Structure 1
């Protein structure tokens, strides 16, 4: 548990909350029992609820692991009163940790983020989470651009798995970001009544930040779906070309195999034609002429 206090705001940040932490919050800040019951265990959906003079928020934040190439979702619970803000989480959330560290170390940060009340601190926490999503979205955009480049360089087969990985990243990002829309919209209407009308502009700004992040995510979904369709079309076209060549080659070699099979039967061994010294060369020449003629015809028709 980390605590930072100014004359207007007290910020308590709790990592991996336990029953004793809940008891401390109940005794020290007299939070509503329904709110405290929600902190343990983790929640399943983003939301904002008001209990008398207290707000309870559940936020989700995407975290990308470079080693596993997986995007996971981190939950952040926030309780806000007129004088205090309590944040609880089960995993480290870097934007929140960075903001808390700045407030702990620097007076100017405490003045900027905490000396105008819990409403401004809440705004900056959510804003930092939204801004922290942008580098992850930029990373996805870079991967999409590389996939596009590779597709048109003839690496369609290799890109099938890469497209699947990027689609999984976008899906996980969407799981974290899309549910925040209703929360931010609700907060935009609830916060001015709870904190005061002068705070309205802060939470309207959050709506703009969210829309910007959401628009990037939606564009990425459209791009990767289009690339997947294009890649599938090119791959299918390549397979069709291979099948066409194999079919033509089979069509050329089948008559030759038939001729060789017929003249290879024992029934022709006693025939006078089979005993002629030029028979082998005559058959071979006819087979070559037939194969060449068919090849020329196929090339004229652009089947080869």
Structure 2
């Protein structure tokens, strides 16, 4: 589907203008949105727009890395938004010319729809222009990243608070899922940050340089998001290492207790084994109190070793 909207020289807004009429140059500027286009509608990019074949190829071949390409009479942008439910990336492409902006996306875009509606309902059409539309869509994209990062931070806080008493398998599974989501966000946000940085430092995009402070604000948000993602990735590592260390400490404590118990019973096992040998003549075998004396000796040995271990601090 193709939607069109145009601004006349007297700043009157006109919707659903035929593409042929838009190209006659009778309008101050216009915006065309290719929303889930068919193969026949995609051909409009070749004729009558005559966009560069490489840019058209990038539009069709989904999913490309965010980038900026300069051509003779237009500039081509590839941007990425996030699906709020699946966290998958959706590509939105833009052709920016002197008096037009063309958006192209193969999936529904809430950002495009929001800016389109805002444009139609605006009472100050004079401030609108192609670079302003591009800024608003990019700003909506970047703003949609923040809830995803905040949701991951809340999840990490929940994991950290409930880490005690959980099995290592369940905890590590949650941490790896969180790290996977963070990696997916980083693969979207980092290229977008680089794209905006290139836009800000481009000498060819003079119309955007006039709105430099707006695009700088987007870049600042992307820098903040990058720092938040890296901090959260480090937090997942810290939680994992802390839990593994705690688990190792508990295991070592158990092993220490078992070692102490084994050590105490070693001399007792030796005494019991010594008197369990089937020799006919052994000291104490004919004694009336030999059995009880041996038991008392074993108890005294066990108590003596326990007190000695306690003094050494082995029971802490």
Shorter-chain TM-score bucket reads 0.7 to 0.9
Unaligned runs of 5+ in 1: none
For 1:271 and 1:247, locate their aligned partners in 2 and report how far apart those are by CA, in whole Å: 32
CA RMSD of aligned residues (A): 2.9
Change (3 A) 1:114 1:184: farther
Match of 1:284 in 2: 295
Deviates further, 25-34 or 272-281:
272-281
Q: Do 2:35 and 2:107's aligned partners in 1 also have CA atoms closer than 8 Å? A: no
Residues 1:252 and 1:272: Cα distance change in structure 2 (over 3 Å):
closer
1:272 CA displacement = 6.7
In the TM superposition, 1:183-202 aligns within 5 A as 183-190=195-202, 193-195=205-207, 197-202=209-214
CA contact (8 A) 1:3 1:11 kept: yes
Q: Is the 8 A contact 1:137 1:217 kept in 2?
A: yes
> Which one of the candidate residues 302, 310, 314 is aligned to 1:299?
310
Residue 191 to residue 92, structure 1, CA distance change in 2 (3 Å) = farther
Q: How many residues get paired?
A: 293
Post-superposition CA distance 1:222-247 (Å, at most 9, x none): 33333333333322222222222222
SS at match of 1:6: strand
TM value normalised by structure 1: 0.83
- Give the match for residue 35 of structure 1: 55
Counterpart-to-counterpart distance in 1, 2:178 and 2:146? 16
SS in 2 for 1:76: strand
Higher normalized contact order (CA 8 Å, seq sep 6+, divided by chain length): 1
Q: 1:40 and 1:277, CA in 2 relative to 1: closer, same or farther beyond 3 A?
A: farther
Number of the residue aligned with 1:87: 103
Go from structure 1 to structure 2 and tell me whether the alpha carbon gap of 1:159 and 1:181 turns closer, same or farther (over 3 Å shift).
same
TM-score, reference length from structure 2:
0.80
For residue 68 of structure 2, the aligned residue among 35, 48, 53 is 48
Match in the other structure for 2:91: 75
Identify the residue that residue 108 of structure 1 maps to in structure 2: 121
Matches within 5 A, 1:200-219: 200-219=212-231
Q: Alpha carbons of 1:112 and 1:46: their partners in 2 closer, same or farther (altered >3 Å)?
A: farther
Kept in 2, the 8 Å contact 1:14–1:86? The answer is no
Q: Which residue of 1 aligns with 2:6?
A: 6
CA 1:46–1:276: 2 relative to 1, 3 Å:
same
Conserved? CA contact 1:61–1:177, under 8 Å: no
Residues 206 and 273 from structure 1, CA distance in 2 versus in 1: closer, same or farther, beyond 3 angstroms?
Answer: same
Q: Distance in 2 between matches of 1:115 and 1:33?
A: 32
Say which one has the larger Rg. Answer: 2
Q: Is the 8 A contact 1:113 1:120 kept in 2?
A: no
Q: Provide closer, same or farther for how the CA distance between residues 240 and 55 of structure 1 changes in structure 2, counting only shifts above 3 A.
A: same
- Aligned to 1:266, what secondary structure does the other structure show? coil
- In 2, Cα distance between equivalents of 1:230 and 1:264: 49
